[in-house]
Amino acid sequence: MQLNVQDLLRSGAEITDQALERLLPSPDTLPHSIHRAMRHSTFAGGKRLRPILAMEAARMTAGTGEIPAGAADLGAAIEMLHTYSLIHDDLPALDNDDLRRGKPTCHVAFGEAIAILAGDALQTLAFQTIASLPTPPATTVAILREISLAVGTGVGPNSPLPPGMIGGQVVDIESEGKQPTAELVESIHRAKTGALITTSIVSGGLYGIASHSASENTIERLRTFGEKAGLAFQIVDDVLDMTQSSEELGKTAGKDTASVKATWPAIYGIDQSRKDAAELIADAFAALEPFGQQADALKALANYLVERKH
């Protein structure tokens, strides 16, 4: 297979969008407001990185060279969780953002009440979607456990819970204005962004091996890959936020610096941050070594994550 990461991204986004189009209630379903709000934010131009990672992990563990049938629905469920978190993060009580990817955020377009409920409903729809996956029930339950923990409240090295998206968001809010430490930044990144990226890869891996015998080892290797690549992704995001203009990013650049948010370059500087990201990607690649060429797509995506310019 000749790999072209742009093709992977384009076709993965297309498959994801088709699944989302089918799974989200139509804009003419009553009550209109919430279904339109859910669609407004879901179809606001996301790159579908998490679904693509899930589908490529499923392709790798399935070992057939093809994305297994129905894996796009798993990807769509993960994208719904990502979108719900963005809608709630943008609310006036949280980050108070008016623009996201150059478009009005959900509460600007539909009002705060509907934005809160649209976020709630996207979380719910993600779990409805998982309930209808064509995987064997034991695999569906394993995916449910994996994903529900990844969007939960765990944070930090001493937590009894694994890192979770909501936990990372709470710590991020509460650390604003305080002098960030290296440990804090890493905790936030691992929970707020890393957990959902990691679970995309791990749940995709579970999906792909559903009909195979697979070792625990496969999942642990995917988890390591996800954790390293996810952290690298967030470091690059922080660096881009400091070095690019708002126009290139499609959001307000430098906002993190302005409010003394906990970011990697704020601690280590931009050059060291770039080096750290490259080193994490090398570690991520090492975890996939036993998979040989089957891992090429995931590796190409990880490279893309750290080399992108916006």
Name the site residues for a second copy (rule: CB under 8 A): 25, 29-31, 33-35, 38, 84, 88, 91, 93-94, 111-114, 116-117, 119-121, 123-125, 127-128, 130-132, 136-138, 140-141, 144-145, 148-149, 151-153, 155-156, 158-161, 164, 166-167, 169-171, 173-174
DSSP track, 42-61: HTS----HHHHHHHHHHHHH
CA distance 156 to 190: 8
Give the residue with the Cβ less far from a second copy, 173 or 260.
173
Smallest distance from the beta carbon of 80 to a second copy, in angstroms?
Answer: 12
CA distance 96 to 309: 25
Smallest distance from the beta carbon of 240 to a second copy, in angstroms?
Answer: 26
Give the residue with the Cβ less far from a second copy, 31 or 290.
31
Give the residue with the Cβ less far from a second copy, 159 or 252.
159
In this structure, how many other beta carbons lie within 10 angstroms of the beta carbon of residue 76?
26
Region of 4 (left: φ > 0; alpha: ψ -120 to 50; beta: rest) is beta
Smallest distance from the beta carbon of 38 to a second copy, in angstroms?
Answer: 8
Give the residue with the Cβ less far from a second copy, 15 or 142.
142
Give the residue with the Cβ less far from a second copy, 23 or 55.
23
Any alpha helices (H) in 132-194, and if so which ranges?
A: 137-150, 165-174, 182-189
CA distance 4 to 49: 15
Evaluate the CA torsion angle 134, 139, 144, 150 in order and state its sign. negative
Smallest distance from the beta carbon of 135 to a second copy, in angstroms?
Answer: 9
Smallest distance from the beta carbon of 184 to a second copy, in angstroms?
Answer: 11
- Give the DSSP letter of residue 157: T
Cβ contacts of 192 within 8 Å, gap of 6 or more: 165, 167, 168, 169, 171, 172, 234
CA distance 1 to 171: 43
Give the residue with the Cβ less far from a second copy, 4 or 29.
29
Smallest distance from the beta carbon of 122 to a second copy, in angstroms?
Answer: 10
